[in-house]
């Protein structure tokens, strides 16, 4: 029996019952497709993921990467599936076919990516980073730059990276010291060093294209003076042929808690000769360009955490059904009673239902953001398109931060279901815990996401984005009120939503007052509460659909949707109410804590 790396039926539920994705076929952009084609893409992704990628999951972890003489050798087991991803043109599903894409909707591409990421998310970083680097060139590059790099990046022939972080700057990108000097031929000579560079050096692709943040000599301090450069590992001549190696070299790889099969590199630019780069966009436009890639990558990080959680839940569920231990709660006094599967025990059921709730809510959230991208691009109404753009903006920091934290929690709960076995390498759940943890740290740590959520998405835009989100949630609440089985759940979510909106707007005011530090000390708890509200919304939305289908032959499937919503809203949303009441946006103790008092 093929391993169940994700839930095909629930993916179909989200695509066709919750989001009604086939309605996109009526748009001008996607009129050349049909539902059969969508299903075929997803089926092929599933086959590739199950048969070729998933077998590398634990092998990749055990083999790890090898660094020798400035070169990195990645696990050999990745070579074949990487080649198959390239041959299948899976790297740029949503992009123009002219440059190696397939022109698919974001939501369908998300379904394919769920399979690949579930199977081995180390492997998916190659097409993700290649696509991200290519997208920046697609949006901001010259026609010559597009001709040189775009198809190679989109098809996966060449790898891509993202060089932001420096040893002395960390998350403070504006403090970077990498310098760029313009040369007579229009190129730039670049000198500096970068750290924590995923796939900065690897032996899967012939060339690697590095987008590098640097400061042109004489540029303003801080982020306003940062530019972005295209720096190939091997220089690309004007006719597209490869020239000499560029002076960008890997100086080492990190020994990490997880992601053992992924090279996390330190990179030196211009230390042994001459490192050349091409300016992308305009001088000092670097951060604006980079954010296009960062927002895409943050959605992918949310997907990484979610798929880790989903895989861990699937393993825990199977184990709980098979593992015999103890007597049922009804027969505790009968020492002669047979042992029962641990899924019979109330506390194990609680953990599994909690995991199910988070996993299904996270899937709906991630697909919903992809759907918002589709709606923004296909809507003929500018007001409607702006509405979806606002939803993308406010949901991006939530999906990155909340999903990464709750995804990790699900992995930990899955380990708990396995008991002592879960803590051993005999079962893969311990790898899922290790691999998932990084998602709350990289691509903008969750504290930064919380500051973005409060400072830019709520306070920085007169709550327009917040209003867009709340209006969508209210629509679902109103629908749930018309279903007898769901009226109580709707009322509980509505009560929490009112408190959430009030708390957000009070905290927004504090941002523009003497209590600004206190407000930002509450940013992370506020984002976490927002994630809870959004999970409840997604689960209630699913329950509204399921409630109409309880008489069908899939009654158990739909009953499970309602149970997940009931569990989350009745047992976890009361905790969310407490979180919101604890948001102290004036005179927060953390804001007033002197460093000497710790």
The catalytic residues are 443
Give Cβ neighbours of residue 206 (< 8 Å, ≥ 6 apart): 157, 158, 234, 242
The strand pair at 159-160 and 71-73 is best described as: unpaired
Dist. CA 400–CA 341, nearest whole Å: 36
Contacts of 316 (CB under 8 A, 6+ apart): 351, 352, 355, 413, 414, 417, 418, 429
Asked if residues 95 and 101 have their Cβ atoms less than 8 Å apart, the reply is yes
Residue 209: its H or E element: strand 208-216
**Cα distances (Å, whole numbers) of residue 530 to 136, 225, 443:** 30, 34, 20
d(CA 131, CA 152): 10
Cβ neighbour number for residue 570 with a 10 Å cutoff:
12
The three-class DSSP label of residue 289 is helix
For residues 102 and 38, give the distance between their C-alpha atoms in angstroms, rounded to a whole number. Answer: 12
**Cβ of 239: how many Cβ atoms within 10 Å?**
6
Residue 74, CA distances (Å) to 197, 356, 553 in order:
14, 34, 48
Tally the C-alpha atoms within 13 A of residue 435's C-alpha that lie toward its C-beta. 32
Angle CA(21)–CA(26)–CA(30) in degrees, nearest 5? 75
Contact 403/306 with Cβ under 8 angstroms? yes
Number of helical (H) and strand (E) elements in the chain, helices listed first: 18, 12
71 and 203 Cβ atoms separated by less than 8 Å = yes
Buried residues in 362-378 as b, exposed as e (16+ CB within 10 A): bbbbbbbbbbbbbbbbb
Cα gap 244→500, rounded to integer Å: 57
Strand partners, 230: 211, 278
| β-bridge mates for residue 72, sequence order | 67
Identify the CA nearest to 54 among candidates 111, 130, 117, 12: 117
Cα(138)–Cα(146) distance, integer angstroms: 6
CA torsion angle 549 31 133 82 (round to 10) = 70
């Amino acid at each position: 029996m093929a391993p169940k790396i994700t839930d095909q039926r629930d993916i179909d539920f989200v695509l066709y019952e919750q989001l009604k994705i086939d309605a996109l076929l009526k748009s001008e952009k996607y009129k050349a497709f049909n539902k059969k084609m969508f299903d075929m893409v997803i089926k092929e992704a599933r086959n590739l993921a199950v048969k070729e990628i998933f077998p590398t999951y634990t092998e990749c972890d055990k083999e790890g990467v090898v660094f020798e003489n400035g070169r990195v050798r990645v696990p050999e087991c990745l070579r074949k599936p990487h080649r198959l991803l390239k041959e299948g043109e899976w790297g740029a599903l949503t992009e123009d076919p002219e440059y190696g894409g397939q022109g698919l909707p974001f939501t369908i591409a998300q379904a394919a990516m769920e399979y690949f990421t579930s199977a081995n998310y180390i492997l998916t970083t190659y097409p993700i980073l290649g696509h991200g680097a290519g997208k920046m060139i697609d949006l901001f590059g010259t026609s010559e730059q597009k001709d040189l790099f775009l198809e190679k990046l989109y098809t996966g022939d060449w790898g891509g990276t993202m060089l932001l972080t420096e040893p002395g700057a960390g998350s403070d990108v504006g403090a970077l010291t990498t310098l760029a000097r313009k040369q007579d031929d229009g190129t730039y000579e670049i000198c500096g060093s970068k750290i924590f560079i995923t796939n900065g050096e690897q032996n899967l692709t012939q060339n690697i294209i590095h987008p590098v943040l640097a400061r042109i000599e004489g540029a303003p301090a801080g982020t306003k003076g940062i530019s972005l450069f295209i720096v190939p590992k091997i220089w690309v001549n004007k006719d597209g042929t490869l020239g000499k190696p560029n002076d960008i070299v890997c100086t080492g790889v990190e020994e990490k808690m997880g992601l053992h099969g992924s090279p996390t590199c330190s990179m030196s630019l211009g230390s042994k000769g001459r490192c050349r780069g091409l300016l992308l966009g305009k001088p000092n436009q670097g951060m604006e360009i980079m954010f296009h890639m960062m927002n895409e990558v943050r959605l992918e990080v949310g997907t990484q955490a979610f798929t880790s959680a989903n895989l861990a839940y699937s393993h825990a569920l199977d184990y709980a059904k098979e593992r015999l231990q103890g007597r049922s709660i009804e027969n505790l006094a009968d020492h002669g009673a047979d042992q029962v599967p641990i899924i019979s025990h109330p506390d194990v059921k609680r953990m599994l239902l909690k995991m199910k709730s988070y996993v299904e809510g996270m899937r709906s959230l991630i697909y919903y953001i992809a759907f918002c991208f589709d709606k923004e691009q296909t809507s003929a109404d500018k007001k409607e398109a702006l509405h979806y753009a606002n939803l993308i903006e406010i949901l991006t920091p939530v999906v990155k931060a909340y999903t990464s934290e709750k995804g990790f929690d699900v992995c930990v709960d899955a380990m708990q279901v396995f008991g002592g076995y879960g803590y051993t390498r005999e079962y893969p759940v311990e790898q899922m815990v290790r691999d998932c943890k990084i998602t709350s740290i990289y691509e903008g740590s969750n504290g930064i996401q919380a500051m973005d959520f409060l400072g830019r998405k709520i306070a920085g835009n007169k709550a327009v984005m917040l209003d867009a989100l709340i209006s969508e949630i209210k629509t679902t609440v109103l629908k749930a009120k018309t279903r007898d089985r769901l009226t109580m759940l709707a009322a509980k979510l509505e009560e929490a939503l009112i408190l959430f909106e009030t708390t957000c707007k009070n905290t927004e005011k504090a941002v523009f007052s003497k209590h600004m530090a206190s407000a930002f000390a509450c940013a992370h708890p506020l984002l976490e509460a927002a994630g809870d509200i959004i999970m409840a919304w997604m689960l209630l939305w699913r329950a509204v659909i399921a409630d109409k289908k309880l008489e069908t032959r899939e009654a158990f499937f739909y009953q499970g949707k309602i149970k997940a919503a009931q569990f989350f809203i009745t047992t976890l949303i009361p905790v969310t109410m407490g979180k919101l009441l604890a948001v102290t946006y004036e005179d927060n103790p953390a804001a007033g804590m002197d460093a000497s008092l710790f």
